[in-house]
Amino acid sequence: MTGESLWIRSMEFCGRYARCHQMPERSFFIRGYQLPLCARCTGIMIGNIIGLMTFWIDFPLWTALLMIPMALDGTVQRFTDYESNNRRRLITGLLWGFASVAMTFFLIRLLIYFLT
């Protein structure tokens, strides 16, 4: 499989299964190739990985507050003329991705506690 066909398959896969819009102006490029996920989805995926690597740490429920910056950035961008930039999208995605995994593990631990 050539590098070109691998890139095309990854773009198709992420567009279909990750539900990423893959807009070029909202994506990062490496050596002329657009990454298969936009900046925000890239941040979410990296944040998820970091969250999974730290699953044994008991993060408090207030970790959910880390989700607020992405919610605000996306909402304001959607309903106003404000245009976010890729660095902000990456950072807010990282926070959201990490917080969503940390919060999920926290809620699972809470559920196990109450069921045992």
This prediction has a pTM of: 0.83
pLDDT band at residue 11 using 50, 70 and 90 as cut-offs: confident
pLDDT at residue 5 in the model: 80
**Structure confidence by residue, pLDDT tens digits, 27-80:** 888 888 888 889 999 999 999 999 999 888 888 878 889 999 999 998 999 999
Q: What is the pLDDT of residue 61?
A: 77
Element (H or E) spanning 55, and its range? Answer: none
Residue 56: domain span: 3-115
32: left (phi over 0), alpha (psi -120 to 50) or beta: left
CA dist 20 and 42 (Å) reads 10
Portion of the chain with pLDDT greater than 70, in percent: 97
3-state SS of 20-43 is CCCCHHHEEEECCEEEEEEHHHHH
Count of structural domains within the chain: 1
